[in-house]
Structure 1
Amino acid sequence: MRRLPPLKSLQAFEAAARWLSFSKAADELFVTPAAISQQIKQLEVFLGTPLFRRMTRAVQLTDEAKTVLPLVTDGFDKLAEAVERLAREEETGLLTVSSAPTFAIKWLVQHLTDFSSRYPDIDVRLDASLEMRDFDRDGIDVSIRLGLGDYPGLHVARIFGEEVSPVCSPMLLEGDRPLNTLDNLKDHRLLHVDWGKLTAYSPTWEIWAKAAGLEDLDVARGPQFSVETMAIEAAINGKGVALVSHSAVASDLRTGRLIKPFDLAVKTDMAYWLVCPHTHLRRAKVRAFCEWLLETAADDAPISDRMAPR
């Protein structure tokens, strides 16, 4: 434990010692000369030694005060530098974003170059996690979660909702059993995503098949994946047809690595949410990231979500 006097007493001493004037120190610190005198007396009692020789119209430093003044001034300079550095860190520096893995890999990474070009002084550290991180313990500035939006006590902003539709590699349109009609879907492996507790009801192949009017499709067959990106990679490699979310495959659809063989999507109750403690919004870099994310995501939201009231 450091044995230190009150900061105000040290501040009063340092200013008065620099000016050799209680009144000028009072002007600098926006207090009265009497307050400066009282603070210095408290410091002298704490140290057990006088710091000033008080004369009629002036004050002089004692030998002890002359010895410690440079150290005290240097201490305040370093403290001011630390405060300034902390203030800069609030606006720039490292921004740690925790994100659901699929959103991080398939959407956020695709757009971070734009954020970096707009805010070159902010470096993003991306933490891909299935679970909600502890903001304080894990040093997280802001989090992106897939779910129902139930995050009590935190600031929550909806990024966009989700809908799911079948996707596959273009290679499945060729071969002996091309996927060119709904009936041909029975000739291909179905890839399933286990959504777990993220949704009140899972957007399953059974639900999609019912909406498509397919009564004889065996919707139970095919492997299940606990992480959506694994199902997407399997589909890209021609291993089957995956029922996955719009945002997760937007870039793959644009590049032609995946296609939508059928123009039918099923809307879900899931959405991506921007989540952080209310106090984090005081940080300029957090506000900048949140505003950029919501603006950018609006262009990539499913068409049905763009039309829905928020």
Structure 2
Amino acid sequence: MKRTHLPLNALRVFDAAARHLSFTRAADELAVTPAAVGQQIRALEDVLGVVLFRRTSKGLELTPEGEAGLDPLREGFLRFEESVAAMQAGQASDRYTIATPREFYAEWLAPRLAKFQSETTRDSGGVQYILAPDEHADFTEANLDLAIRLVDGPGDLQGVQLAPALRVTVAAPEHRDAWIDWPGMPLPQGVNPCIKAGSPGQALASALAGMGRTILPLALAESAIARGSLIALTEPEPAIRSYWLLAPAPQWRSKKVRALVSYLAP
């Protein structure tokens, strides 16, 4: 069904003028000039083909036509407010759906989310985090707010880099003199690994178990290094990939996404 074009701004001016029965006070409320209020009212009268106000010795008063439309108009504005509130509730500010590598969540993200939760929701029911099982989940299908991925850049998405692109060779304090390999982080030439892991998380777990040394993103390894579970065998050096916080461009207009991004981003 084709909807009639509604002069919403003029109707808003009419509502204010009807409440105050004064163009001047309506102008003060709307932060415009009384002349602008008068122009909007005259334009609305032209569109509707009726007179909405008349001037008397006592001041401004509504015509019967203006009176007839006022209650339905105010009810409509209340419905508009309910609609806006419903749309905002759909982007629940206390719920985040995030896709992230498991190992990065455990070593880097979880402590920061806990701190964000405690600092931003002291007087409310708390933040709910929904973690997608697949870090490469589709944003639409999984209804994601954000994703964290180990990549060389945001690609077609919009994103911020969570940590510098650095890598470091690590091992447990007591470890075998062997190497652990995983896709995307080539070992020194000529090295024959004892373990071919399928992900940085598996390589991290293998190193923590003392099965050998491996090269990991510094952001993934630095927590274990700080607590003494791993030792750094080399100084950090530049890497191609790093952890990025990603989302399609429209997601970044969400107030809750901007709040979390500003907290996590360096």
Same fold (TM over 0.5): yes
Native 8 Å contact 1:147 1:272 kept in 2: yes
1:161 pairs with 2:165: yes
Name the CA distance, whole Å, in 2 between partners of 1:38 and 1:277: 42
SS where residue 4 of structure 2 aligns? coil
Give 1:10 shift. 0.3
Aligned length: 258
Q: Specify the alignment match of 1:303 in structure 2.
A: none
Native 8 Å contact 2:207 2:214 kept in 1: no
Larger RCO: Structure 1 or Structure 2 (Cα < 8 Å, ≥ 6 residues apart)? 1
Name the CA distance, whole Å, in 2 between partners of 1:23 and 1:254: 66
The residue identity in structure 2 corresponding to 1:192 is D
Name the CA distance, whole Å, in 2 between partners of 1:29 and 1:286: 31
The residue identity in structure 2 corresponding to 1:38 is Q
**TM-score, normalized by length of structure 1?**
0.61
The verdict on how the C-alpha distance between 1:23 and 1:107 changes in structure 2, with shifts beyond 3 A counting, is closer
Name the CA distance, whole Å, in 1 between partners of 2:100 and 2:53: 59
Query: Of 244, 249, 254, which aligns to 1:273?
Result: 244
Name the CA distance, whole Å, in 1 between partners of 2:157 and 2:247: 9
Q: Specify the alignment match of 1:247 in structure 2.
A: 219
Give 1:132 shift. 8.4
SS where residue 32 of structure 2 aligns? coil
The verdict on how the C-alpha distance between 1:224 and 1:263 changes in structure 2, with shifts beyond 3 A counting, is closer
Q: Specify the alignment match of 1:222 in structure 2.
A: 195
Q: Specify the alignment match of 1:61 in structure 2.
A: 62
Name the CA distance, whole Å, in 1 between partners of 2:68 and 2:108: 61
Name the CA distance, whole Å, in 2 between partners of 1:275 and 1:12: 42
Q: Specify the alignment match of 2:183 in structure 1.
A: 194
Which string of whole-angstrom CA distances, capped at 9 and with x for unpartnered residues, describes residues 238-263 of structure 1? 7x43625243344456667x544x83
SS where residue 203 of structure 1 aligns? coil
Q: Specify the alignment match of 1:302 in structure 2.
A: none
Q: Specify the alignment match of 1:232 in structure 2.
A: 204
Name the CA distance, whole Å, in 1 between partners of 2:130 and 2:222: 20
Give 1:163 shift. 1.9
Give 1:229 shift. 1.8
Q: Specify the alignment match of 1:75 in structure 2.
A: 76
Q: Specify the alignment match of 2:47 in structure 1.
A: 46
Native 8 Å contact 1:5 1:43 kept in 2: no
Name the % identity: 28
Native 8 Å contact 2:108 2:223 kept in 1: yes
Name the CA distance, whole Å, in 2 between partners of 1:36 and 1:279: 35
| 1:6-21 paired onto structure 2 within 5 Å | 6-21=7-22
Give 1:292 shift. 3.5
The residue identity in structure 2 corresponding to 1:162 is L
Give 1:19 shift. 1.7
SS where residue 233 of structure 2 aligns? coil
The verdict on how the C-alpha distance between 1:62 and 1:254 changes in structure 2, with shifts beyond 3 A counting, is same
Name the CA distance, whole Å, in 1 between partners of 2:263 and 2:34: 50
1:108 pairs with 2:78: no
Name the CA distance, whole Å, in 2 between partners of 1:113 and 1:158: 17
SS where residue 195 of structure 2 aligns? coil
1:203 pairs with 2:175: no
Native 8 Å contact 2:45 2:51 kept in 1: yes
- Give me the CA root mean square deviation: 4.4
Give 1:108 shift. 0.4
The residue identity in structure 1 corresponding to 2:264 is L
Native 8 Å contact 1:191 1:243 kept in 2: yes
Name the CA distance, whole Å, in 2 between partners of 1:160 and 1:8: 49
Native 8 Å contact 1:164 1:203 kept in 2: no
Native 8 Å contact 1:100 1:130 kept in 2: yes
Native 8 Å contact 1:91 1:284 kept in 2: no
